[in-house]
Structure 1
Amino acid sequence: MTSSDIFAEIQKKNSFLCVGLDPVIEKIPRQLQREEDPVFSFNKAIIDATIDHAVAYKPNLAFYEALGPGGWETLQKTLEYLPSEVFTIADAKRGDIGNTSTLYAKAFFEQMDFDAITIAPYMGEDSVRPFLAFDGKWAIVLALTSNQGSQDFQLIDNSDGKPLFASVVEKSKTWGTAQNMMYVVGATRGSHIENVRALVPDHFLLVPGVGAQGGSLEEVARFGMNAQCGLLVNSSRGILYASSDSDFAVAAKKEAQSLQGAMEELLSRYLT
């Protein structure tokens, strides 16, 4: 999938919403617990409820790995259920030496056919490049995350007075292009999004942290949007658990629709 394909879907739906498919088995509504595969039934209902408003879906692999071998089967069924026009992200945060990264890439790009995978860049260029060798696939590099612990390392200034996350972006952008590399940038500080956008003006940014973690959608758009939108804003808990009752899918749809409406207004404001 190309950046133009992603932008076309953004324009079609007037949305840059990414839905995080992170199902917690204990939070799945009671009526689904009797199903043969409760997690897939939950995911399927969430996808059906949000597909008109979302351009991307991002399963976090930990929520499936925790279920054992059956969790991998659920993940594969979920991926196959998603329409081909939406962008699919394996939130796996992989990153290892070259031959290991090559096998990770084969697993997620060839065996499972995800469009993208999140990558931890700590081990450097040879741990990221194998993911960039697959046509139409994307590496999404962790630049600045939205968790509290991000301050432990990512915001430390180096000898040039730049925060570590800025050095990561500056160095890693030479490994790929705006057609095969994105960056994770947390939504909790608009100024940081502005800094990253200045370093990679043409790349897509995957932005967690809006909603439950306090990030502002308006700030994300103001500081991060480019001529092709350049943003995929993720919402997980706010959509998945908008209700814990039998109306969970209706509530998920309402939340996704609300976010899409706000995104439509921001697209009309910032894309001219």
Structure 2
Amino acid sequence: MSMDQDPTTLAAAAAAAIAERTGVERHDIALTLGSGWGRAADVIGETVAVIPAEEVPGFRAAGIPGHSGTLRSLRLASGKHALIIGARTHLYEGHGVQAVVHGVRTAAAAGAGIMVLTNGAGGIDPAFAVGEAVLINDHINLTAVSPLVGADFVDVTDLYATRLRELARGAEPSLQEGVYVQLPGPHFETPAEIRYLRAIGGQAVGMSTALEAIAARKAGMEVLGFTLITNPAAGMAGALNHEEVLEEGKAAEPRLADLLTRVVARL
């Protein structure tokens, strides 16, 4: 099946394939694990099944280093089931916005009521240290696109659910919160762009998450967002490169896995 068909139909087909391959009829929680967050899949629950993404309708192998390219079903200690989406599609890959949000829509079709979105990002706010996990409390979507088509006026006032953020702070009281900015990429930002983003209220910047969060809200899910500060944004330190982002993500993996384990146990 291709992304050209109706997105709802494609998500339903993907969810049916996941249920068949995992033997789990319904997943309660879904997590998309971005740069630095992947190790959490190994520790937050017992693995029931791992599926190569390209074997599920609408998914493809991971497009960039640092993402697993698999879908994984976990059984949590609570008895709930979590779906780990390690096959994130980014807007800059050129497959279109519907491909970007297919994972979220599949999670909703699989039964998930909570969508946990994670990413690695550049820190705009100097209060955020490199290696720190920050709760996303709002976003600014500067991709110039939306996953919604037509007169579909979805309220995103409390998009990153206050209720879930309170639960996360219960697990880790030291968590800071901030506004995440999504740009299309794949190039990093210029120093002038970072000054602009800071002026309009942005505190961290990356190339994912906001479009997925909108699609999750449309699908009726509550959203919890985390960003790992992998580097100071452009103009705030030295030059930027993706290898350094991956290195910082790898160094943070044990801490992030522990954080997500404690947070997910409260969801």
Normalising by structure 2, we get a TM-score of: 0.28
Larger RCO (alpha carbons 8 Å, 6+ apart): 2
Larger % of strand: which?
Answer: 2
Normalising by structure 1, we get a TM-score of: 0.28
Larger % of helix: which?
Answer: 1
